[in-house]
Amino acid sequence: MVNKEFFLALDMLEKERRIDKESLIEAIEAGLVSAYKKEYGESRGVAVRLNPEKATIKVYAYREVVEEITEKDKQILLEEAVEIDPAYKVGSIITEEITPKDLTRIAAQTAKQVIMQRINDIRKEMVLSEMSDREGEIMNAVVRRIENDTYYVEMSNTQLEGVLMPSDQMPGDKFSINETVRVYVKKIRNNGKTTQVIVSRSAAGFVRRLFELEVPEIAAGLVSIKAVVREPGYRTKMAVYSEDINVDAVGACIGNKGMRINAVVDELRGEKIDVILWSENLSEFVSRALSPAKPEMVKINEAERSAKVIVPDDKLSLAIGRSGQNARLAAKLTNTKIDVKSLSSFFESGIGVGDDGDENADADGSLETADKPEGGESNDA
């Protein structure tokens, strides 16, 4: 056991498990302490020291020098210690080498079990640390089992289990055992004994990360994603912006002939995506957020963070969307309460452009003309 082959095996283990040698040595020393005590019934304090350079393993028993003994097997009185060596004083540690000529098969097996457990613990800690750094990222995962519509997946290149619950699945998500799927790392859940990775395909962050992977301008920091809102499987609205006037933020996300946005849409199983040009002007932002509808006018109440939007009669249903989806997502994207009305109902209400009779109007009672289609794009046909 005490030879160069043992330490060569240690080097191989370090490379295969990607665990630094110091951690491995600590695990082995702890395992050998346990094995030695079990085999020889040693009650004294025991320490094992591995020396890779000399290819040696040595076992030591130790006792602490004290004035009064509280732990008989691990302590020795000062007067007894000075008889061994006058240089000893209170607090000194007396060591004695007790390395056996050979460790029996039982001791070796015990050591192996403890060592492997320690190595697994170290490996899990490393993987947990790596996974914690990957929260908010997209990873590949392999479906290992399915229970009550919940998918339990193995995160690629880790020993951790990921959980894709029904609430984190997209409508129509159906996977088979051993199928590889792309998932968004939502959070890490660790109860001390087990660690699970909560993953999602329905989170808005999933769409954000997909665009970051597909659009080089986003990765380079030339285009920033200001906000993403989503109703999974149906529609996403994403606001983007660039400080560089020479960079078309929306066009960069769409790509040549829609190549970039279509790659994201394919991953989302056909989910519609509206890419909106962000603006610090709330009126412009609200107008663009209602894409694909094109409002005629937008009236903003800054104090209440609300907007009254007027659209052509034939575009009312488009602006509101099925079951109110388009207006609802626009409201979330802009963080504004939006009231959409048709042009005819607006004039029938008797409120003129300069009328200050509406309690939700701006302080100056103005009704702003909305920006036209500039800045809002969609993957709709």
Find the CATH number of the domain harbouring 258. Answer: 3.30.300.20
Query: CA 12, CA 31: separation in Å to the nearest integer?
Result: 19
306 and 347: one domain? Answer: yes
Express each pLDDT in 16-38 by its tens digit. 766 777 877 888 888 888 888 88
Express each pLDDT in 309-323 by its tens digit. 999 999 999 999 999
Picking from 244, 278, 312, the residue at the C-terminal end of a domain is 278
More confident residue, 87 or 120: 87
Express each pLDDT in 38-53 by its tens digit. 888 888 889 988 888 8
72-81, 152-161, 266-275: least confident range: 152-161
Instruction: Domain count for the chain, please give it.
Output: 4
Q: Band of the pLDDT at 347, cuts 50, 70, 90?
A: confident
39 and 92: one domain? Answer: yes
CATH code for position 160: 2.40.50.140
97-101, 176-180, 196-200, 321-325: least confident range: 97-101
More confident residue, 195 or 217: 217
Which amino acid makes up residue 361?
A
pLDDT attached to residue 353 = 44
Q: For the chain, how big is the Rg over CA atoms in Å?
A: 34
29 and 93: one domain? Answer: yes
b/e for 124-146, b at 16 or more Cβ within 10 A? Answer: bebbbeebeeeeeebbebebeee
235 and 297: one domain? Answer: no
Residue range(s) defining the domain that contains residue 147: 135-200
CATH code for position 56: 3.30.1480.10
11 and 86: one domain? Answer: yes
Q: Is 376 helix (H, G, I), strand (E, B) or coil?
A: strand
44 and 122: one domain? Answer: yes
Q: What are the Cα distances from residue 219, in Å, to 248, 277, 287?
A: 15, 18, 28
Query: CA 270, CA 259: separation in Å to the nearest integer?
Result: 14
Please count the other Cβ atoms lying within 10 Å of the Cβ belonging to residue 68. Answer: 8
89-103, 215-229, 296-310: least confident range: 89-103
Number of helices and strands in the chain (H, E): 12, 17
Contact 235, 223 (CB under 8 A): no
Q: 363: Cβ–Cβ under 8 A, 6 or more apart, which residues?
A: 302, 303
118 and 142: one domain? Answer: no
* pLDDT more than 70, % of the chain: 87
Q: Is residue 364 over pLDDT 80?
A: no
250 and 313: one domain? Answer: no
Q: Is residue 8 over pLDDT 90?
A: no
Q: Band of the pLDDT at 107, cuts 50, 70, 90?
A: low
pLDDT attached to residue 91 = 92
Query: CA 92, CA 242: separation in Å to the nearest integer?
Result: 67
Express each pLDDT in 282-339 by its tens digit. 999 999 999 999 999 999 999 999 999 999 999 999 999 999 999 999 999 999 999 9
17 and 124: one domain? Answer: yes
Picking from 278, 302, 328, the residue at the C-terminal end of a domain is 278
148 and 87: one domain? Answer: no
54 and 149: one domain? Answer: no
Q: Band of the pLDDT at 368, cuts 50, 70, 90?
A: very low
320 and 378: one domain? Answer: yes
pLDDT attached to residue 376 = 55
Picking from 216, 247, 278, the residue at the C-terminal end of a domain is 278
Is residue 325 within a helix (H) or strand (E), and if so which, with residue range? helix 325-334
Residue entry with tokens 């920006």: 371
